[in-house]
Amino acid sequence: MKSPLDEKVADVAKNLVSGVKDTLEALSGTVDEAVEVIGKGVEKIRRSVRPGAATSVVFLANARVEYGESVVLVGDLEQLGRWNPAAGIAMDGSGYPTWSARLYLSAGTRAEYKYARRSRDGSFSWEAVAANRCVVAEDPDETTARDEVSWA
């Protein structure tokens, strides 16, 4: 549910994007680059107004799977399925063999996680690591977890 503050920040961002887009088109600039910079600026404003606001955590897993299989991010947090692979986050495989997922956590939040492989029949198998992986949402803009994954 969006708060009135979220709606106000979204309105400010929309107006900024529109103004910058018009200006850059007149100057033959790159609109996508400007929109990205504006988005990061708006997110910084949101966090300064609402301390503890969400930090983006990007998970990048280099993981090879068979055709028809996929990779799921699973962990100790509710958003990660509380160690239930069926409730985890299905990762995007469009950059295969790198799979990606984005999660928003409060700054300072620690998450333990692992990767699971979803087979064509819907069953799951865990990656071949004994200890849980860990990430802490520290960077105010974005934290990235890059992992090499092999299967048991």
C-alpha span between 28 and 25 (Å, rounded): 5
pLDDT for the residue 111: 97
pLDDT single digits (tens) 121-140: 999 999 999 999 999 998 77
pLDDT single digits (tens) 59-72: 999 999 999 999 99
Contact in structure between 105 and 60 (CB atoms under 8 Å): no
How much is the pTM?
0.66
From 60, 51, 36, 59, select the one nearest 108 (Cα to Cα): 51
pLDDT for the residue 50: 47
From 14, 20, 89, select the one nearest 58 (Cα to Cα): 89
End-to-end CA distance of the chain, in Å?
41
Domains of the chain by residue range: 4-49, 54-148
Which residue numbers in the chain have pLDDT < 70? 1-53
pLDDT for the residue 152: 77
CATH hierarchy code of domain 54-148? 2.60.40.10
Average pLDDT, the chain: 83
